[in-house]
Amino acid sequence: MKLENKTFDELRIGDTAELRRLITPDDLIAFAATSGNYNTLHLPGFDTDGDGRPDEVAPGMFLASLIAGVLGSILPGPGTLYRNQVLSFQDRAHAGDELLARVTVTDIASTGIVTLRTEVLRPADDTMIVAGEAQVIAPARKFAAEDVHIPGLIVQRHRHFEALIARAAPLPALITAVVCPTEDESLRGALLASDDAIITPILIGDAARIRAAAERIGRDIAAFEIIDEPTDTGAALLACKLVHEGRANAVMKGHLHTDDLLRALLDKEVGLRAGRRFTHVFVMDVPGEPEPLLVTDAAINIAPDLKTKVDITQNAIELATSLGLVPRAGILSAVETVNPEIQSSVDAALLSKMAERGQIKGGAVDGPLAMDNAVDMGAAHTKGLKGDVAGRANILVVPGIDAGNMLAKQLAYISHAEAAGIVLGAKVPVILNSRSDGSMSRLASCAVAAIRHFHGAETKG
């Protein structure tokens, strides 16, 4: 950012400057966190005034800060100090409004005090939001800098999951066989999804342990069907049988090892094979990213060959489509050029060509791509990469489970992402979370499964 001030000697009556700013919900959250003003009229998602829609009113002092931004950054600019500010709030602004803050010099006193007319307008309808007057001490010393770097702020909220949960809410409740919900979080996640009418859970496992978990979290589960099965393997097989009987349209992993669940899903008699390989997708809500990010496969296929990677990619594309995304699958490797010594780069090139020839359908596929030029436009341009995917991938197909697991956990623990987990390729969606995942991840996983199931039913219909 380039900054340059106007000193007291350079200022003239009539000098003016302005800044435009689009107000976002994240702005309101950041201002609340900084100021300590938690008036819910100003926060996303609340209907404080009872009119049936979120309020998201921009706080008055947030609007005043836009004026301060012009004074401190442009006119007079760096070195300016406030003496006085009069504000008259004439209308309200909300998240989604683009505002214009403008200051105009009206008086220059020999004492060094400069008076400016200050205003904040909404250009879309030419409405005056804030009118007023400021008195400042103008800088005496000239300041200019070509590259002033201010660290960006990322609000750690998970708006993509909130949107998915809202999208799943009006759908019919997905009847879900929950396997071994014998631990607090695994049971709580299923019950939260039931509270939001996303799923109707059938609880399968050791009934005494399930009831003990319910008691620990303070929930009454008398209204839910409980099928008593003391062993993890038996509970997983029972869940598959419920699907075959038409009594369940999804399976949800509770507090058991993934291998025990998969063994049942692959059982020759009661398993849920449906043609393609089972593949796992993490739907990641990464703070600051414009849309959900799908990472696959980080949980099931250890060292997938090319044929398996075709299923991994196709399953992820179909899931992305059902979630309302335009699928852009980046096939990851250590490099963005084909190197015969790096098998993942060769596989990536083949997958890209297969998509070009229609062997993988429904989305754009490109590879090999390194992680940086898969998700960052600047890195993609630096490497001369073009197309719909480079720099804009929303599906990351990893070389193997090591890379995928590391990537997903890095996003979760360093980038503060939440992850929803789902297994595709079975007859019904399989909700697969880590035993350490919290309730939000489990709730979002249920939402993803419901959306996928009903989108698939509409497509077949």
The Cα–Cα gap between 54 and 47 comes to: 5
| Residue (of 271, 313, 257) closest to 427 by Cα position | 271
**Residue 119 host element (H or E):** strand 113-122
Count of structural domains, the chain: 3
Residue 96 and residue 185 share a domain: no
The Cα–Cα gap between 34 and 361 comes to: 47
Within 10 A of 78 (CB to CB), how many other CB atoms are there? 17
Q: Confirm whether 448 is domain-assigned.
A: no
Q: Confirm whether 334 is domain-assigned.
A: yes
Residue 245 and residue 186 share a domain: yes
CATH number at residue 47: 3.10.129.10
Domain boundary among 259, 274, 289: 274
Q: Confirm whether 443 is domain-assigned.
A: no
Q: Confirm whether 52 is domain-assigned.
A: yes
H and E: helices and strands count for the chain: 13, 18
pTM of the model: 0.74
The beta strand positions in 318-362, using DSSP E, are: 328-332
Residue 421 and residue 286 share a domain: yes
**Residue 315 host element (H or E):** helix 306-322
Q: Determine the 3-state secondary structure of 105 from DSSP.
A: strand
Q: Confirm whether 446 is domain-assigned.
A: no
The Cα–Cα gap between 118 and 74 comes to: 13
Q: Confirm whether 79 is domain-assigned.
A: yes
* 439: its two tokens: 């309730």
Residue 343 and residue 380 share a domain: yes
Q: Is the preceding peptide bond at 429 cis, omega within 30 degrees of 0?
A: no
Residue 101 and residue 135 share a domain: yes
Residue 98 and residue 18 share a domain: yes
CB-based contact 251:286 (threshold 8 Å): no
Domain boundary among 102, 120, 145: 145
Domain boundary among 258, 274, 290: 274
Q: Confirm whether 450 is domain-assigned.
A: no
For residue 251, the enclosing domain spans: 158-274
| Residue (of 327, 396, 393, 395) closest to 363 by Cα position | 327
Residue 395 and residue 378 share a domain: yes
Residue 118 and residue 164 share a domain: no
Task: Please state, rounded to an integer, the average pLDDT across all residues of the chain.
Answer: 93
DSSP conformational letter for 195: H
**Residue 72 host element (H or E):** helix 60-73
Q: Which residues contact 169 (CB under 8 A, 6 or more apart)?
A: 196, 197, 198
DSSP conformational letter for 78: T
CATH number at residue 367: 3.40.718.10
Within 10 A of 240 (CB to CB), how many other CB atoms are there? 25
Q: Confirm whether 438 is domain-assigned.
A: no
Phi, psi of 332 (to 5 degrees): -85, 145
Residue 106 and residue 33 share a domain: yes
The string of pLDDT tens digits covering residues 140-172 is 999 999 888 888 776 766 788 888 998 999 999
**Residue-wise pLDDT tens for the chain (461 aa)?**
889 999 999 999 999 999 999 998 889 999 999 999 999 999 987 889 888 788 899 999 999 999 999 999 999 999 999 999 999 999 999 998 999 999 999 999 999 999 999 999 999 999 999 999 999 999 999 999 988 888 877 676 678 888 899 899 999 999 999 999 999 988 998 999 999 999 999 999 999 999 999 999 999 999 999 999 999 999 999 999 999 999 999 999 999 999 999 999 999 999 999 888 999 999 999 987 889 999 999 999 999 999 999 999 999 999 999 999 999 999 999 999 999 999 999 999 999 999 999 999 999 999 999 999 999 988 998 999 989 999 999 999 999 999 999 999 999 999 889 899 999 999 999 999 876 777 778 889 999 999 999 986 655 54
* 189: its two tokens: 């996640």
Residue 249 and residue 324 share a domain: no
Phi, psi of 281 (to 5 degrees): -130, 130
CATH number at residue 253: 3.40.50.10950
Residue 246 and residue 109 share a domain: no
pLDDT score of 459: 57
The Cα–Cα gap between 391 and 364 comes to: 13
Residue 188 and residue 89 share a domain: no
